[in-house]
Structure formats: C-alpha cells, structure tokens
Amino acid sequence: MPSKNMTLFYSPASPFARKVLVLLHETGQLPTVELFDVQLSPVSPSGEVIARNPAGKIPALELANGDTLHDSRVILDYLDHQHSGEPLIPRDGANRWKRLSLASLADAVLDAAILIRYETFLRPEDLHWPTWLNAQQDKIERVLAELETQADTGQLQCFDIASISIACALGYLDFRQPQLDWRNRFPRLASWYAEASQRGSMLDSQPPA
Ligand SMILES: N[C@@H](CCC(=O)N[C@@H](CS)C(=O)NCC(=O)O)C(=O)O
C-alpha cells in the first residue's frame, strides 16, 4: 500500500475538488492522498486553507515537500504527471488544446453554477439580482448546448480531462439545480452521462445526499 504523501483540502460538495478525486481514482493514486475535509464559503473562509492558498479556495493539494498547489486545473495537471498509465491530459499536439478547452467549458458551467449558489444561498434575499442570476443560467444553457454537440459527435468517448470535467459539472447541476431538467433538452449528453456517472470514480465521489 503506497504511503500517503500528499494532503487534499477539499469538501465532498465541491465539484472542483471532485474533479481531483475522480482523476486520483482513475489513475490509481487515491491511496497516496490524505483527504482533509473543510467547510468554507467566500464569507466564512477556512484558516487551514488560507494558510496554504491565500485565495482561500479548494481544492488545494499539499505536497510532501510542504508546497501547495491550488486551482483544480493545476492540481489535475500535476497529478496526471505522477502516474505511469495513459495520460488523461494529452501532453502535446492539437488534441491537448482541444481537450483543455472542452474541459474549460465544463469549468465555466461550474463557475456559473457556483455563483448562482452563492447568490441564492449566501446573499440576503432582498439583495438577489434576477438579471444577473438569469445571465449565469444562460451561460450554463449555452455551454450545455455545445456539450450536446460534442456528445453527438463522439467527442466524449474517452474519459479524459474533458470528460471528467463535464461529468463533474453535470453532477453538480443535479446536486444544486435538481429542477433544471437538462436531460430533456440535451438527450445525447444525458445518455453519455448515464454511463459516465456509473464509473467507480464517479460513484465514489458523489456529493452528499
Ligand atoms: N478555479 C478554481 C475554483 C475553485 C472554487 O471556486 N472552489 C470553491 C468551492 S467549490 C471555493 O473554494 N469557494 C470559496 C471561496 O470562493 O472563497 C478551481 O478550479 O479550483
């Protein structure tokens, strides 16, 4: 059993941290990482996290030498260099930029969905701004339409950085916006996700019920 030489500061509800957990699982590295569960929000930050990432955000990955990596994309890139299997982030060539751009679209869904969550859950109700909320929701809708095309043209067959990010984004929408009913509008994406969400890495990293 490999020793745990890294610590992941995360929350089971964080979709960005989930991407890291999924990649760890897919690449057989879960046993090397200690999981440190933190509760935080922009208005109630965690001292443990701030000490390692002044932006106060998770995921943050503390390495054996005491250095900390933060931002899920940086952490995923690092971890993808720490295993000997097939890379989940293409190392070079046009495909690298294509897959990273697709992954960043999934992150855009997460950014918008998290902003909506903060606006509706943290901000006092009388300060909610419907126009802004709708604009974030429109972003999600536009990206899902593009992901539907990607699913239709077979671009999600390989469970790599792009597919991991998309699966975690859809999982977060189901978690925080169960009323969204995206499956009716994006059936090919739905059928892809029905399978992707049953992978061991996805089942093991589900957000809390
Ligand atoms: N771009 C960052 C986003 C991370 C992020 O927004 N994490 C949320 C939790 S899901 C967070 O730490 N929020 C606390 C804050 O914004 O202060 C990444 O990919 O890691």
Q: Measured in angstroms, how far is the CA atom of residue 111 from the centroid of ligand 1?
A: 8
pLDDT tens digits, one per residue of 61-74: 999 999 999 999 99
For the chain, domain boundaries:
6-80, 94-200
Residue bearing the CA closest to ligand 1, atom 1: 71
pLDDT tens digits, one per residue of 57-107: 999 999 999 999 999 999 999 999 999 999 999 999 999 999 999 999 999
What CATH number was assigned to the domain covering residues 6-80?
Answer: 3.40.30.10
Q: Measured in angstroms, how far is the CA atom of residue 168 from the centroid of ligand 1?
A: 14
Which of the listed residues 57, 116, 122, 136 should we mutate to test ligand 1's pocket, taking the one with most ligand atoms within 8 A of CB? 57
pLDDT of residue 100: 98
pLDDT of residue 165: 98
Mean pLDDT of 154-172: 98
pLDDT of residue 209: 87
Q: Give counts: helices (H), strands (E), the chain.
A: 9, 4
Q: Is the dihedral of CA 30, 36, 37, 43 positive or negative?
A: negative
pLDDT for residue 11 is more than 90: yes
Q: Measured in angstroms, how far is the CA atom of residue 16 from the centroid of ligand 1?
A: 7
- Which has the closest alpha carbon to 88: 197, 164, 161? 161
CB of 116 shorter than 6 A to ligand 1: no
Reported confidence tier of residue 1, pLDDT bands at 50, 70, 90: low
Mean pLDDT of 145-161: 97
Q: Is the dihedral of CA 141, 143, 149, 151 positive or negative?
A: negative
Architecture of the structural domain at 94-200: Up-down Bundle (1.20)
Reported confidence tier of residue 3, pLDDT bands at 50, 70, 90: confident
CB of 196 shorter than 6 A to ligand 1: no
pLDDT for residue 2 is more than 90: no
Q: Measured in angstroms, how far is the CA atom of residue 143 from the centroid of ligand 1?
A: 20
